[in-house]
Amino acid sequence: MKPELVVDDRDFQKRMTMYEAQANAKSREQFERNVKDVFDQSQKLVPVRTGALKASGHWDIRDTKDGVEGSVAYDAPHATKVHYGMTPAPGAEMQPAHPNTSTEFGPSGGLYLQRPLLGKAKRYSQAIADYLKRTVGR
């Protein structure tokens, strides 16, 4: 009988499955932190007159068949109008949610969701990649 070497990759496949599950869980953790950060930034930018708009804000994370989905929303009846129809103006009646707090996205006013999301999109992706490098397989 000739010598024969049999290579079995079952252990490798088990480890790969474990790493994939770990990567999915860790990326979800960082994704949740990113969504919460968009919410926190929007809370600093949302204009405040009565506080109803700011108080209607919330965020959510949910699993889907394709992965994870996050949302930040404001449910006050006037949320859409304020978000899309308002631009900040000096001396405007509405005041920043946090006076004396400035953000890298400018003053309180319209597009209070889009400005932080688009402004930090690359940082959010990088944060997930960095977190995975630090935590998966360790």
In a domain, 59, yes or no: yes
Number of compact structural domains in the chain: 1
Which run of H or E residues covers position 117? Answer: helix 114-135
pLDDT tens-place string over residues 35-83? 999 999 999 888 888 899 999 999 999 999 988 999 999 999 888 888 8
In a domain, 110, yes or no: yes
**In the predicted structure, residue 28 carries a pLDDT above the cut 70:** yes
Calculate mean pLDDT across residues 86-114: 57
Q: Which residues pair with 53 in a beta bridge?
A: none
In a domain, 4, yes or no: no
Q: Where in the sequence is the domain holding 40, given as residue range(s)?
A: 12-135
**In the predicted structure, residue 27 carries a pLDDT above the cut 80:** yes
Extended beta strands in the chain, E state: 57-64, 67-74
